Structure 1
Amino acid sequence: MGKNQAKKTDLPLHKIIMVGSGGVGKSALTLQYMYGDFIEEYDPTKADSYRKKVTLDGQESFIDILDTAGQEEYAAIRDNYYRSGEGFLCVFSLCEQESFQHTQEFRDQICRVLDDEKVPFILVGNKADLTSDRQVSTREGELKAKEWGCPYMETSAKTRQNVDEAFCKLMRSIRDRKEAKGGGKAGASKAPKKKSSCMLL
């Protein structure tokens, strides 16, 4: 069994953790990316892990997504989750200023637990389709991301706007960091100039 297991995991594996306040759409974004479904009602207390084979810039790899749901309240569990991640999608709702303010806490916790300011990280403003309810401007999101030295993206789990792009951008960042740490292994010279593409298999 061990041998078969090894064969399956020969492909690169990129581990992403979803963080953010409750109700901002972390689960909806994850499920939209994984299955192409928009699910409005979702059990907010369930932490779920998803794995999918994807093709990122012509190279097959696995993406592992941990949707932490309401588990962030338990510090020990939360810190263990953070330690297992290679990249983070920090999600807030564009319709809820408070959820935007809370992103600072998530960022601080992650940097503290990992002792790493440069961990692959994307700030995501979700619910971009609800334009009339917007409380956080694009400019505010961009300024916060600039302060952290990370990308900022606005998504809609409902319309799928920028959903694939956010996950793929984070996977590229994780991949490039691993290659830089590993002395530029597999694909480091050719991947960045390739036409960007990412598909689920």
Structure 2
Amino acid sequence: MREFNAVVLGAGGVGKSALTVRFMRGEFVENYDPTIQEEYRRSIEVDGELTWLEVLDTAGAEQFTALNELYITSGRGFILVFSLTLEASLREVTSLRQQILRIKGESSGIPMVLVGTKLDLTNEREVSSATLRELATRWKIPVYETSAKRDWDVREAFEDLVRQMREYYPVEPPKKKKKRGLRGKSPCIMM
């Protein structure tokens, strides 16, 4: 079974933990309790293939900038989270994406999804679907509008990231063991 790790990044209070816990445990966390760092691990079946997925739920990006570099360096896939009810949180995700590209040293293709949370709070929405479509096209990454409370499109976002990681990090063939022989040398026999 293949194994991947994903890092959940975004501003504080946008619903990173609610999204992560909904996916990893199937529960909705009602109360906001600022996270410093939480790790979750579970198997997930995507397209008939089982995968171990480790998800690192991080603190708000503005709170622990130095740690973000460490998370990004070790991460293989990224879930960039913002709140559909807070336009400023989308700007934070823009900054995080630039940081990922700088640290990873690549212009595109890094497994990444953009996730807007709190879709169920329609009266408080500040970020339009049109803005997200334009951003998805420009960044060439998928965008999901989710609700952890209602469990809308949460699993789909994580499954998409797993598919991207499978493609971006292909299976490496097993390494051949070197034969330890004497290669033309006479054996030494001790008595």
TM-score range, shorter chain: 0.7 to 0.9
Which runs of 5 or more structure 1 residues have no equivalent in the other structure?
1-10, 184-201
Look at both structures and tell me which one has the larger radius of gyration over its CA atoms: 2
1:107 alignment partner in structure 2 = 97
Q: Does 1:145 align with 2:125?
A: no
What root-mean-square deviation, in Å, do the aligned CA atoms of Structure 1 and Structure 2 show? 1.6
Q: Does 1:167 align with 2:152?
A: no
Q: Does 1:56 align with 2:46?
A: yes
TM-score of the aligned structures, taking structure 1 as reference length:
0.81
> 1:17 touches 1:81 (CA, 8 Å); kept in 2?
yes
2:74 alignment partner in structure 1 = 84
Code of the residue aligned with 2:146 in structure 1: it is: T
SS in 2 for 1:125: strand
Q: How many residues align?
A: 172
> 1:93 touches 1:100 (CA, 8 Å); kept in 2?
yes
Which runs of 5 or more structure 2 residues have no equivalent in the other structure?
174-191
Higher helix share: 1
Matches within 5 A, 1:124-143: 124-143=115-134
Matches within 5 A, 1:1-201: 11-70=1-60, 73-117=63-107, 118-179=109-170, 182=172
Identity, % of aligned pairs?
Answer: 40
SS in 2 for 1:73: coil
Encode CA deviations 1:5-54: one digit per residue, 9 max, x unaligned: xxxxxx21111100111111000000000111110214213210100012
Encode CA deviations 1:84-109: one digit per residue, 9 max, x unaligned: 11111101100001111211101011
> 2:85 touches 2:127 (CA, 8 Å); kept in 1?
yes
> 2:6 touches 2:75 (CA, 8 Å); kept in 1?
yes
TM-score of the aligned structures, taking structure 2 as reference length:
0.85
Encode CA deviations 1:142-172: one digit per residue, 9 max, x unaligned: 1112111111110001000000000000000
Alpha-carbon distance in 2 for matches of 1:53, 1:104 = 30
